[in-house]
Structure 1
Amino acid sequence: MITIEDLSYSFPQKDLYNKISFTLEDGQHCAFIGSSGSGKSTLVDIIMDPERYLFDGILKIDPNCRIGYVSQFPQIDKTKENTVFQYIGEEFIELQNEIESLCAQMESSEDMDALLEQYQQALDTFDAIGGSDFESNIDKQLYLANLTKLKNLMVTELSGGEFKLIQVIKEMLNSPDLIIMDEPDVFLDFENLNALKSLINSHKGTLLVITHNRYLLNHCFNKIIHLENMELQEFDGSYIDYNLSLLQSKIDTQEQAIADDEEILRNELLIDKLRDIATDNADAAKGRTLKARVKFQERLEARRIKGPFVDIKQPKIRLIAEHEISEEATALSVTDYSVSFNEILLEDANFEIKSTDKVALIGSNGTGKTTLLREIFNNNHPSIEVNKDVNMAYFSQNQDEILNESRTILEEFYELGFKTYQEISSYISDYGFDEEILSQKIGSLSGGEKNLLQLAKISASNANMLLLDEPTSHLDTYSQIALEKAIKNYNGAVLMISHDFYFIVNCMDFVLIIEDKTIRKMNMKKFRKMIYAKHFDKDYLEIEQKKKSVETQIESALKDSNFELAKVLFEELERIINTISH
């Protein structure tokens, strides 16, 4: 269906791809992974509209290939008063109306041939996309995603997560040859994430999905494309098998790289000695020996392992509360808080957070979580009391709420009070930003890069209370791990909206759950039980935690060049994975 051969492409400030190649065949469900800013969304744009881009290499797409697309940032059209059913069935309904209109015209028209031709074309198109069954197919997909209750709601009443799923259903029912989805999991609650998994696994067509979500990666794909450091590798198989293969190659590659480095150093010393001898002695044989040794060194240098999938940049996120308040002090108190839009979302909710509590605020999409977080940050609601010694910083899921996308990165950080170019460059490099993109407009960055910028701004504020609205959204796995470490080590209070169960379990002290229009406190043990009962296979989360722990230990062993330990840990990881497959 799609073949890419030796494709290279660059922005003015950044090289994105260096002769990358892959194929995508009919029926494959392909996950497209890679670190934030590596160029995944741009490659999707090139596939969808190659005429807009000046790239080197070959891109072959079947000329009859129809492509459906689910955007990373879907926008609900507020001007259209459509129900969910009308939105999903839009193409079918338009064709149905056209067919009915042509039938009516044929009853009184004298130019029957032209109308018959139009009628047949419309009928063929309608049949080709399964038009005769479209109403029952919509019902089936809504039932599969547990969204039947939304069928007659107006689209404008949906939450962002609900609209994402409706967009997925719409694209699938239009039966394109290929559906491309750019982070369809972002902002989905636990229930809707399972719905997305069911939709992906039930789809018979070809999928190319950009995602960092390990739950989807573990359950939904039979091909992996990994873009990193301008290079790409493809793997036919599951993500679990790919991740195992990648760790194995890291161990082998780094062990070989050290051996190569040692051999190159030995050879350099030998060349230096031969040069000294050749300088003092013009013997032709000695000259030939030196020349042969130099050529051998060139071969060693050429063979030296370069690991684009080994040397993956992990940002260094540091969160420090410059002004700590007493450990037992209450940082935030919410009393009898209520909020409503068309209906009551929260009524008489109460909770408090101490100065070092790390708390997750969870609940279904559309239950008022973001509204509450914003009102806490604005601190002008009679039900909300913030300790006078608290200095808050806010991370928004709407990135342009915190970042001025028309500014450059430099301008944004000068505005924060940084004094020099060098100071900004040094600070921002910890978050994975190279010097050459400091003058790039923030609006041109990827979703993950924008969120890393938000985290960099929060870090610079030295706030002692963080309000985080979906902070792991758009972040690659390595950035998520870095943020997890930073929050664990943070010495202030955290209130975080998240649907990332791994992140919540690893970082939070307790959970505030929104149910039945109120908020109740839940300890982590009960939260785990609830997640198991409602959303996951038995022991899934426990096994994933074990896997992640061993993977982290392997990475640590590799940093210390302890290859024997890395190999032992790798065998342990294989045993854990085998318990899943059996």
Structure 2
Amino acid sequence: MIKVDNLSFSFPQKKLYTNISFTLEEGQHCAFIGTSGSGKSTLIDILTDPERYLYDGKLEIDPDCRIGHVSQFSQVDKTEEMTVFEYIGEQFIKIQDEITSIYAEMATTSDMDSLLEKYQSALDAFESMDGDNFENTINKQLNLANLMKLKDLNVSNLSGGEFKLIQVMKEMLSRPDLLIMDEPDVFLDFENLNALKKLINSHKGMLLVVTHNRYLLNHCFNKIIHLENTEIQEFDGRYIDYNFSLLQTKIELQELTVAEEEEIERNEHIIDNLRAIATYNSGASRGRALKARVKFQERLEARKIKAPFVDIKQPDIRFGMAHKMEDTTVVNVNDYSVSFDELLLENVNFEIKSTDKVAIIGANGTGKTTLLREIFQNNHDSIEINADVKVAYLSQLQGETLKDSNTILHEFIDAGFKTYDEIRSYLSNYGFEGEMLNQKIESLSGGEKNMLQLAKVSASQANLLLLDEPTSHLDIYTQIALDKAIEDYKGAILMISHDFYSVVNGMDYVLIIDDKTIRKMSMRKFRQMIYASHFNKDYLETEQKKKSLEMKIELALKDTDFELAKVWVDELEELIKLL
């Protein structure tokens, strides 16, 4: 239904696509992946509104193809005066009212022909959305997502995660031929993430979903489109199989690269010897031999394998500290409460030690972000911060810590660097290089903004990190780098996260919101709770083993021990069959 053929597009500061081609066909649930800032959201904009963009190549969209869209940064309109049911059924109700109005006009009109045409058009639209069953259909979707309790609630009272799911339902029920969703999983709690998984898997139409969520990627898609370094790669099949295919290719390419580098090195020795001989023997045959060897060397260099989808550079995230604290309390929360329209948290008590790594876990809209922000601001009577603590804060509202009108370079002028060159060198570790440093922050993608926040947190050399949904918008490669940085950090971390992998891989224990207060829970009990309520235990434990094997393969590749890497790959292949 959609065909992209040799499409190229650039912004003034950045080339996004070079002759990319792919197709989207009926029945496909397609995951759209790629590193942050690679141009996924821009490509979605081109698909939904091609007239706005000047691009090279062809974009063919079936004229009958209706496209629905759930955007990345949608927010609840607090002035919206309608219930959840009315919001989801808005289009149905509008057409129903139009048909009722046409009936009334028929009693008095003298132009019955045009009215009948108008009536038929409204009826066709109503039938295409199965309008006669719309109430039953909405109830089914709400039940599927376990959100029937919200049916009569005002839309303005929804949390951000609940509203995102309601939007997904609304678009799905309008039955577009293609539904495009840009990171619909961001900020969803565990229960809502499972609801999104069910909605995606029950959807009968064609889907194109931008996501970096490891759980959704492994459970929801039968096609992968991977955008990287201005190129695109298509893969028909599951993400887990695509990832395994990449790993196999990586081993093959690295083996070939090592062999080629050895060949290049041998050839360089021959060239050096021929040059040395040419200094005292200037015969024509010696000159020809030298030229031939140099040309051969150029050909070897030219054919060196370039693998944009295999060798993706991970950012080098490192959380350092200006000074390490002894084993002492860094945060003390005593009898804390917070409320807005209703009481969210009451009688909250906990303390964080100087090396504790702690996740705050709770459903959307339970006051987690407010608590973390008030710890950062340190002006609440119930919150005490140790005087020796230096705090760094990453906000899910990126405008709290980044100034949109700043360039990337200027954002770091006050971050403790002495020269522009120091800033440039530092930011290159986070993927910000060259002309990109002169871009305004407002032009960056959500993932790039979060990466910039991580760079600021790291540069602060703080000994307490407050991280609010740090994995949101981040590509998988950066999520893995962040997991490693958290593991290596020697200070205290208080993190809000709904990324199960980040919590179980990096935290010492969790603070769980339960009945408007917070209680401490061990990682063992947290796992048991997650297995019982949200995720399959066998899947998650197998996924952990898979990750361990992938790390062993990476280490074997670093040591260029390809035989050992292949042994681990065979073991990994057997494990993947269980997933």
Q: TM-score range by the shorter chain?
A: over 0.9
Distance 2:520 2:76 in 1: 33
Which one-letter code corresponds to 1:186 in the other structure? V
Q: Give the fraction of aligned pairs with identical amino acids, expressed as a percent.
A: 71
Structure 1 position 440, deviation (Å): 0.1
The answer for unaligned runs of 5 or more in structure 2 is none
Distance 1:257 1:58 in 2: 35
Partner of 2:496: 497
Structure 1 position 556, deviation (Å): 2.4
Partner of 1:75: 75
Structure 1 position 78, deviation (Å): 2.6
Query: Are residues 1:174 and 2:174 paired?
Result: yes
Partner of 1:128: 128
Which one-letter code corresponds to 2:237 in the other structure? G
Distance 2:385 2:173 in 1: 49
Aligned Cα RMSD in Å?
A: 1.9
Partner of 1:57: 57
Distance 2:288 2:388 in 1: 76
The answer for unaligned runs of 5 or more in structure 1 is none
Partner of 1:481: 480
Which one-letter code corresponds to 1:438 in the other structure? L
Which one-letter code corresponds to 2:222 in the other structure? N
Partner of 1:160: 160
Task: Tell me the secondary structure at the aligned position of residue 473 of structure 1.
Answer: coil
Partner of 1:111: 111
C-alpha distance 277-418 of structure 1, shift in aligned 2 (>3 A): closer
Partner of 2:520: 521
Distance 2:183 2:122 in 1: 34
Structure 1 position 287, deviation (Å): 6.9
Q: Which moved more, 1:558-567 or 1:350-359?
A: 558-567
Distance 2:575 2:451 in 1: 32
Q: Which moved more, 1:138-147 or 1:569-578?
A: 569-578
Distance 2:528 2:79 in 1: 43
Distance 1:344 1:440 in 2: 42
Which one-letter code corresponds to 1:6 in the other structure? N
Structure 1 position 299, deviation (Å): 4.0
Task: Tell me the secondary structure at the aligned position of residue 537 of structure 2.
Answer: coil
Which one-letter code corresponds to 1:30 in the other structure? C
Partner of 2:550: 551
Partner of 1:236: 236
Asked whether the 8 Å contact 2:78–2:157 carries over to 1, the reply is no
C-alpha distance 116-447 of structure 1, shift in aligned 2 (>3 A): same
Distance 1:375 1:88 in 2: 35
Partner of 2:33: 33
Partner of 1:147: 147
Alignment of 1:554-565 (within 5 A): 554-565=553-564
Distance 2:66 2:343 in 1: 43
Asked whether the 8 Å contact 2:250–2:311 carries over to 1, the reply is no
Distance 2:444 2:281 in 1: 60
TM-score by length of structure 2 reads 0.96
Alignment of 1:448-463 (within 5 A): 448-463=447-462
Structure 1 position 140, deviation (Å): 0.6
Asked whether the 8 Å contact 1:409–1:438 carries over to 2, the reply is yes
Distance 2:235 2:86 in 1: 39
Distance 1:567 1:194 in 2: 35
Task: Tell me the secondary structure at the aligned position of residue 455 of structure 1.
Answer: helix
Q: Which moved more, 1:315-324 or 1:293-302?
A: 293-302
Which one-letter code corresponds to 2:467 in the other structure? L
Distance 2:350 2:256 in 1: 55
Structure 1 position 453, deviation (Å): 0.6
Q: Which moved more, 1:44-53 or 1:22-31?
A: 44-53
Distance 2:389 2:291 in 1: 69
Which one-letter code corresponds to 1:456 in the other structure? A
Asked whether the 8 Å contact 1:229–1:312 carries over to 2, the reply is no
Partner of 1:370: 369
Distance 1:576 1:307 in 2: 26
Residue by residue over 1:556-580, the C-alpha shift from the partner in whole angstroms, topping out at 9 and shown as x without a partner, is: 2222322122111111211221233
Q: Which moved more, 1:94-103 or 1:375-384?
A: 375-384
Partner of 2:262: 262
Distance 1:51 1:437 in 2: 26
Asked whether the 8 Å contact 1:502–1:541 carries over to 2, the reply is no
Distance 2:289 2:458 in 1: 57
Alignment of 1:396-411 (within 5 A): 396-411=395-410
Alignment of 1:232-381 (within 5 A): 232-271=232-271, 296-327=296-327, 329-381=328-380
Q: Which moved more, 1:162-171 or 1:546-555?
A: 546-555
Task: Tell me the secondary structure at the aligned position of residue 360 of structure 2.
Answer: strand
Structure 1 position 69, deviation (Å): 0.8
Task: Tell me the secondary structure at the aligned position of residue 536 of structure 1.
Answer: coil
Which one-letter code corresponds to 2:154 in the other structure? M
Structure 1 position 270, deviation (Å): 3.7
Partner of 2:204: 204
Structure 1 position 325, deviation (Å): 2.5
